[in-house]
Amino acid sequence: MADRLFGVIRWRRLWRPPMTSVLLRQLYFTGVESLVLIIAIAIAVGGIIVNQIHYQYGQAGSETLRLLSLLTLNELSPLLTALILIARSSSAMASELAAMQVHGEIRILRRLGLSVRDYLLLPRVLGMVLASFFLSLYFSAATLLAAALAVGGFNGPHELALLGDSLPWRAVGQGVLKSLLFGLAIALMACRAGMRGGVAMTDIPKAASQSVINSLVAVFAVDLVVLLL
């Protein structure tokens, strides 16, 4: 049983040049090309929340940053990052795999004796998980920095540095866990939708749409499970 489980995840094959190339392309498309969008949305989110809590309701600056940091690290950052990845990358991944099905590329790979799981699916899944994790970190950093500057001006980064002692590690750990699980769920739903495509061109947009819907359901289901646990 253990041999089967470890045989499914052949991580060492990722370091072969073909799989490494697929992994790096996935990281570039999902992570690097999304970075500007993630930071822009994070700055906007930080500014909006500070405006609501600090300026409209009169909450103290330090307390505003503490509440925002808890909310961002535990929930906002992984969830909003996941939604952006669903809109931008999940449909693209499913469409790419479905197009390969339609054009017979996957059938050719199998005839050549290549593992579709190792060459196509595993690098994409790992790339999405890593991108979700790192983009979530950037989202948190950009949101908190923007909020600190809005609240304290030039003293904002100093106030932000003082938050480290008051942040519960459980909240930080939950945020990290969510970012990894969200990335895994999105990638699995995208691969499933793409690989289930048929031979008609109309199956490509169907796969993209199905991937988005399934990924949304999976992300919110995972979020609820983590919350209950």
44 located within any domain: yes
What are 166-218's pLDDT values in tens digits? 566 777 888 899 999 999 999 999 999 988 877 778 888 899 999 999 999 99
What is the extent of the structural domain holding 64? 16-228
Instruction: Establish if 5 belongs to a structural domain.
Output: no
How many structural domains does the chain have? Answer: 1
Rounded to the nearest 10°, the torsion over CA 74, 211, 214, 127 is -40
The CA distance from 33 to 50, in Å, is 28
Write the burial class of residue 184 (CB in 10 Å: 0-12 exposed, 13-18 middle, 19+ buried).
middle
Within a domain: 83: yes
Which structure tokens are listed for 211? 């991937």
Q: Is the distance from CB of 165 to CB of 89 less than 8 angstroms?
A: no
Would you say residue 64 lies in a domain? yes
- In angstroms, what CA-CA distances link 166 with 75, 130, 176? 17, 28, 18
Q: Is residue 3 assigned to a domain?
A: no
* 184 HSE (CA, 13 A, CB side): 9
Say if 7 falls within a structural domain: no
Establish if 8 belongs to a structural domain: no
Contact by Cβ (8 Å): 116, 109: yes
Residue 140 has pLDDT above 70, yes or no: yes
Mean pLDDT in the chain?
A: 81
Give residue 33's identity as a one-letter amino acid code. E
The model carries a pTM of: 0.83
Does 9 reside within a domain? no
Intra-chain end-to-end CA distance of the chain, in Å: 27
Residue 86 binned pLDDT confidence (cut-offs 50, 70, 90): very high
The residue length of the chain stands at 229
Q: pLDDT tier at 2 (50, 70, 90 boundaries)? A: very low
| Cα–Cα distance for residue pair 216/128, rounded to 1 Å | 15
